[in-house]
C-alpha cells in the first residue's frame, strides 16, 4: 500500500513512513493511493470474530509490508486486552433502529483509545526496526491528548508533547492528561482555542528545519494510521446489524472529522453505509456547510461538548480531495484560500455530491441537556454531551426502517457537570480513575506563539543533555 498527499507535492510513502511522518511535507494529509475492497463474502467471513482479530484483518491492507500480519495481530490483541468490555466496542439498542456503538471502554474512556492504543504499539514496532526515536506533537480539544499519552507513556523511543486550550476542556479531560507521571510526557496549556493549538502543530510540521531537528511525528487524526484504526468498529457494528445484506446509517458527533471519515472509508472498502449524519454543537460550521455550502469560520464558542468546539476540521480536507476527483492542485488551492479568507469555496457540483451522502445536524447546549434527560427517561440510557447529539441526530435524520449506528464517543463520567445538570446524577469514574481528582497535575502554560512552543518542545527534547 502506497500513500499520496492531498496536495500532491510530497513523496509517496508506505504505511511506516506515513505513521512516522503524520503530516505530509507539503502541508497535505496522506491518503491511500487506492482503497482496498472487501467483497460481500470477505465481509461475511469477519462475522463472529473477536474484535482484535477483526481489527487486524480490516487494517491489514493499509499496513502492507511495513508490519507483518502476525505482528499486527499481536499488536491488536495487546491494544484491546485492557478494555473494560470483553466486546471492546459493545452495541446497545437505545430505540427502534437506533444503536449506540460504545467506544469508551478503553483506559481513557473515549473513542480515541480504539486507534491510539494500537498506534502506540505500531510506533514501537516500526521505531525498533528502524532504530529511531521520534518526538510526537499533538493538539487536543479534550480526548486525543489523554488517549495519546496513555498509549505512549514511558516508551523509550518516543517523547510526546500535547497542546490543549487552557480552560477549555472538562476537568476530567484535563486531569487525565496532566496527572500522568511519565518522564517522556510534556503537557502544554495554550492561551487560545483548539484551532489555535492545531495551527501551532501544523506550523511546527511546516517548519522544515525544526521538523527535521526534532524528528517530529503526529498522533492527531491528521495521521492516517489513526483513521485506519477507527475503521474496524464500523465494520464490526454493521456486521452485527445484518451487513453486508442490510444497509446501515451512521451518526457521529463531529469535531475534527476523523471519526466520520473512518466510517466513510469503510464504505469505500465495501461496507453498505447509506447515510452519514454529522452531529454539531453551537460550533456548527459543518452543519452550515452541509445545509447551504457555507463553510465560513466564525469564533469558537465554548459548549457542553468541548471536543466539538472546532471551526477548522482538518480531516475534511481528505473528503474534499476525494469529491474533487483527487485533484491535488485544486485541493491545495481550495485549502489555501480557506486559510486566507476564512471561507471555503467548494464548487456547487462537489457540494451537492457530498450532501447526497452526508447530512448535518445542530444541537444547542439547552437542547443537549434536554436530550440527555429525554434518553435517560425514555430508554434509561445515559449519554455524554457529545454522544447524545449523535443519538438525537440519528433518531431525527436516520432513514426510515434502517438501523442507525451512533458513535458513543465518551463515557458520561468524563462530563459529570453536564450530566448532573441534566438528570441530577453525577456518574462516578471507573475504579482505575477513582482517585483522579487527588492526583498531582503537571502542565506548562504558554502563549499562542510558535517560537515559544517550539522552544518548549526543543528544551524538553534536550532535557537530559
Active site residues: 112
Alpha helices (H) along 86-181: 112-130, 144-152, 171-178
Quick count: other Cβ atoms within 10 Å of Cβ 48?
10
Q: What contacts 264, CB < 8 A, 6 or more positions away?
A: 273, 276, 319, 357
User: What are 26's three cell numbers?
Assistant: 507539503
Calculate the alpha carbon distances from 435 to 78, 121, 150, 174, 438 in Å.
25, 27, 16, 14, 5
Element (H, E) at 340: helix 328-341
Please name the helix (run of DSSP H) or strand (run of DSSP E) that holds residue 98, with its range, or none: strand 98-102
Give the CA count within 13 Å in the CB-facing half-sphere of 387.
32
DSSP 8-class letter at 414: G
**DSSP letter string, 270-293:** T--EEEEEEEE-S--HHHHHHHHS
C-alpha cell of residue 40: 460481500
CA–CA distance, 45 with 10 (Å, rounded to integer): 37
Question: E strands within 233-323?
Answer: 248-253, 273-280, 295-296
Take residue 17 and report the three cell numbers written for it: 513512513
Q: Rounded to whole angstroms, how far apart are CA atoms 369 and 422?
A: 5
The answer to whether 278 touches 263, Cβ cutoff 8 Å, is no
User: Is residue 407 a contact partner of residue 308, using CB atoms and an 8 Å limit?
Assistant: no
Nearest Cα residue to 189 out of 439, 443, 442: 443
Cα distances from 224 to residues 12, 61, 148, in angstroms, run 13, 13, 15
Q: Is 344 exposed, middle or buried (0-12, 13-18, 19+ CB in 10 A)?
A: buried
The pair phi, psi for residue 464, each rounded to 5°, is -100, 5
Per DSSP, the three-state class of 193 is: coil
Amino acid at each position: 500500500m502506497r500513500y499520496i498527499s492531498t496536495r500532491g507535492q510530497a513523496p509517496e510513502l508506505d504505511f511506516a513512513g506515513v505513521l512516522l511522518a503524520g503530516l505530509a511535507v507539503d502541508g497535505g494529509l496522506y491518503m491511500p493511493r487506492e482503497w482496498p475492497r472487501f467483497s460481500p463474502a470477505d465481509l461475511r467471513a469477519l462475522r463472529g470474530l473477536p474484535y482484535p482479530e477483526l481489527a487486524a484483518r480490516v487494517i491489514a491492507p493499509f499496513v502492507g509490508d511495513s508490519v507483518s500480519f502476525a505482528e499486527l495481530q499481536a499488536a491488536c490483541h495487546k491494544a484491546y486486552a485492557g478494555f473494560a468490555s470483553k466486546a471492546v466496542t459493545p452495541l446497545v439498542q437505545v430505540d427502534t433502529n437506533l444503536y449506540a456503538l460504545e467506544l469508551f471502554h478503553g483506559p481513557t474512556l473515549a473513542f480515541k483509545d480504539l486507534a491510539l492504543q494500537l498506534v502506540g504499539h505500531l510506533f514501537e514496532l516500526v521505531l525498533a526496526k528502524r532504530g529511531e526515536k521520534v518526538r510526537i506533537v499533538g493538539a487536543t480539544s479534550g480526548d486525543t491528548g489523554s488517549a495519546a499519552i496513555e498509549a505512549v507513556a514511558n516508551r523509550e523511543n518516543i517523547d510526546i508533547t500535547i497542546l490543549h486550550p487552557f480552560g477549555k476542556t472538562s476537568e476530567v479531560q484535563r486531569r487525565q492528561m496532566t496527572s500522568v507521571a511519565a518522564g517522556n510526557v510534556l503537557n502544554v496549556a495554550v492561551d487560545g482555542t483548539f484551532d489555535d493549538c492545531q495551527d501551532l502543530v501544523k506550523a511546527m510540521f511546516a517548519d522544515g528545519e525544526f521538523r527535521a531537528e526534532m524528528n517530529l511525528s503526529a498522533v492527531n487524526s491528521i495521521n492516517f494510521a489513526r483513521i485506519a484504526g477507527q475503521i474496524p468498529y464500523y465494520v464490526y457494528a454493521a456486521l452485527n446489524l445484518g451487513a453486508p445484506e442490510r444497509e446501515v446509517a451512521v451518526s457521529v458527533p463531529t469535531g475534527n472529522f476523523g471519526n466520520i471519515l473512518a466510517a466513510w472509508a469503510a464504505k469505500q472498502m465495501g461496507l453498505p453505509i447509506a447515510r452519514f449524519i454529522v452531529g454539531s454543537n453551537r460550533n456548527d460550521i459543518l452543519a452550515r456547510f452541509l445545509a447551504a455550502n457555507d463553510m465560513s469560520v466564525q469564533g469558537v464558542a465554548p459548549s457542553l461538548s468541548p471536543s466539538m468546539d472546532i471551526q477548522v476540521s482538518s480531516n475534511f480536507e481528505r473528503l474534499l480531495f476525494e469529491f474533487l476527483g483527487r485533484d491535488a492542485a485544486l485541493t491545495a488551492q481550495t485549502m489555501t484560500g480557506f486559510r486566507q479568507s476564512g471561507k471555503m469555496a467548494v464548487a456547487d457540483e462537489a457540494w451537492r455530491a457530498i450532501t447526497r451522502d452526508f447530512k448535518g445536524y445542530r444541537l444547542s447546549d439547552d437542547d443537549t441537556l434536554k436530550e440527555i434527560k429525554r434518553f435517560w427517561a425514555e430508554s434509561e440510557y445515559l449519554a455524554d454531551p457529545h454522544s447524545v447529539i449523535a443519538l438525537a441526530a440519528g433518531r431525527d435524520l436516520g432513514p426510515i426502517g434502517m438501523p442507525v449506528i451512533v458513535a458513543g464517543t465518551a463515557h458520561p463520567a468524563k462530563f459529570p457537570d453536564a450530566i448532573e445538570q441534566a438528570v441530577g446524577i453525577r456518574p462516578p469514574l471507573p475504579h482505575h480513575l477513582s482517585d483522579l481528582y487527588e492526583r498531582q497535575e503537571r502542565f506548562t502554560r504558554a502563549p499562542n506563539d510558535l517560537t515559544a512552543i517550539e522552544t518548549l518542545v526543543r528544551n524538553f527534547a534536550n532535557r537530559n543533555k
